[in-house]
Structure 1
């Protein structure tokens, strides 16, 4: 039955690589297994093929702005499988550079998030998604910024504290 949560081991890592446009160029065995797609179905597809509808767009806006600027980012992401199941990851996304220090691709390593982190992220993302549906991505971004301001933390400080 679709919409079941899948899990992977605490010591396992999901790895994928994309080109500059976010098209998948590599996925390790666990990435392919968790997605429910075959390797052939994934390669050259946009990474957003795994995007779950519970994910607020502001998280991806932040992610893309950060990695396009040559910086790393950590984020909690809910992915959707081919058959409609889902799984949570704690992602570390980085740009890869060529010999001329130009960004040539992106690389993501994901591990299993803690239940403590998900107990904070799940309601936060629900709030951000609600704001997004009523006022667009800018409303969701304003809500996220206000939450961070109220906590007295940057996005990175908040995410890494969970």
Structure 2
């Protein structure tokens, strides 16, 4: 797949009645993608299946949010998050994601399911963009990526503590 794509600065959208759906295996490789996902990401089904979900990762998306996401999922919990993604042509699109673990008959996690809806524009503009810019700045200031991510994660936890909210409370307050 293409890497190092340049960004166009053009934002894509999808109809409010549509839902973007993907499923992945335990390693985050795409095992299912609906047509809405394929259309907005500029991928064919053949290009998407088997690829890491990070194929659509936008460089403005803080890594610490994905750490939080994986912490939730690996503990068997669902998570809601605002995410900026990148289409294959360099366009971007915002989503309000609901990601859940998928369980097998034995109760063990066998993969993940993500449904994404059109996000609240006011939440993105007033809270998410400034927060993500701050977190990304912290991440990129460190010379070591893991240290930067850990510092940004800690900064997020401090922000939530100062607000006297859990992450879930914060997201649903927007």
Give TM class, smaller chain.
over 0.9
1:10-159 alignment runs, 5 A limit: 10-119=16-125, 120-135=127-142, 136-159=148-171
Relative to the length of structure 1, the TM-score reads 0.97
- The runs of 5 or more residues in structure 2 that have no matched partner are 1-6, 143-147
Relative to the length of structure 2, the TM-score reads 0.91
Aligned-partner Cα distance in 2 for 1:144–1:2: 29
Encode CA deviations 1:20-76: one digit per residue, 9 max, x unaligned. 000000011100000011110000000000000000000000101111111100011
Encode CA deviations 1:98-143: one digit per residue, 9 max, x unaligned. 1110111100000000111102101100000001111301110121
State the shift of 1:3 in Å.
2.5
State the shift of 1:83 in Å.
0.5
Aligned-partner Cα distance in 2 for 1:142–1:98: 33
Displaced runs of 4 or more, over 4 A: none
- The runs of 5 or more residues in structure 1 that have no matched partner are none
User: Secondary structure at the residue paired with 2:100?
Assistant: strand
Q: 2:8 aligns with which of 2, 19, 25?
A: 2
Encode CA deviations 1:72-106: one digit per residue, 9 max, x unaligned. 00011000000100000000000010111011110
User: Secondary structure at the residue paired with 1:153?
Assistant: coil
Aligned-partner Cα distance in 1 for 2:13–2:104: 34
